[in-house]
A = this chain, B = another copy of it.
Amino acid sequence: MHIEQLETPVAVVDLDRLTANITRFQAYLDTHGILNRPHIKTHKIPAIAHMQLAAGAVGITCQKLGEAEVMADAGIQDIFLPYNIVGEAKLARLAQLARRCTLSVTTDSGVTVQGLDAAMRQAGLVLPVLVEFDSGAKRCGVQSPEEAAQLAQLIAGSAGLRFGGLMTYPSSARAAEFAQATTALLAAAGIATERVSGGGTPQMWQAHSFAGITEHRAGMYLFGDRYTINSGALTLEECAFTVHVTVVSRPTAERGIIDGGSKTFSSDLLGQDGYGLILEYPEARITGLSEEHGTVDFTACARRPTIGERLTVVANHCCPVVNLFNQLVGVRGGVVEVTWPVAARGMLQ
């Protein structure tokens, strides 16, 4: 079936570009001796995770326990969960998961370490735990190398845990410096830092310049979107993910309404101007989204669409868009080859 025959809105993956993006970044990391641990938050599809592993990824990254469970169910063996797992119910699930795959997690507090340790001791397991540090993103993470080293020592001294290394987001020169300072402190205390995990797509081609970061977690690199294109990480011609929509109204000479709104594209601007790029009308601007309508200003376009015309949109940020669809359609040369359920979608817990 040709993609033009599918109803809209439909989320489309160009399979040739997907494969090329996976292969190209894997080759780059291989060249520089950096392990690849892609983040499945972008696609949430086990079959695509298996493609990344087949290309050479050492394992995958999930952000929520529920996502990791879906991936383990699909036979994925090595899962990194860079999240503070808190609360008895989640710790019990974590122990269950640790029994059936090679699992590692992160922490940034003694409270979390205590919870992890108790759960793992009760389960008779030893879990590798990495210390998350804040390298400037001002999200989770300890604030100083001293604090990181102290937490690493607490982990190393916990019977149910093993110090698994350091983790931050995103990779940067500052992150590399922080990690080196922590590693030195730990070495002086006789503790080896086996792994330093960095990540991010915008700066992914600079990963080799951040000395001491041993693995990279990128999510968007395999699909791409306006944000990653404008960051320079990939080109428009390499972008593998688009949303096909239909013009359903042309109320004025300049205005067009498409059949996708915030429940199709999300409201995530991610610093971009407008809510997406329309490939057939690059001068057009998606000025607003209500839930199921997108408002497009075609003023700058010499040619303008008619009602019923299909448009191809590059989203601002592919991750939350995928999260709004029940399935993605994989195409090659415009022909549908595969339909993937977004299996880990909505796994918020």
Contact = CB atoms under 8 A, between A and B. Distances in A.
Nearest to A323: B263
Contacts of A340: none
A312 interface: no
A87 B308 contact: yes
A302 interface: no
A306 interface: yes
A112 to B, nearest CB: 7
Interface in A138-179: 138-143
Q: How many copies of this protein are present in the complex? A: 2
Interface stretch (A117-125, A186-194, A222-230, A245-253): A245-253
Contacts of A257: 84, 139-140
Nearest to A262: B320
A134 interface: yes
B86 A248 contact: yes
A38 to B, nearest CB: 15
A267 interface: yes
A252 B138 CA distance: 9
Interface stretch (A276-284, A287-295, A328-336): A287-295
Given A63-B291, A109-B249, A252-B143, A307 B266 contact: no
Nearest to A67: B292
A209 to B, nearest CB: 24
Interface in A1-35: 5, 7-10
Nearest to A261: B63
A195 interface: no
Nearest to A326: B346
Given A7-B87, A263-B348, 10 more contacts: A41-B292, A63-B291, A111-B306, A111-B307, A139-B257, A260-B348, A262-B320, A267-B267, A292-B348, A326-B346
Nearest to A342: B346
Contacts of A112: 248-249, 307
Contacts of A255: 138
Interface string A291-323: 111010000000000111000000000011001
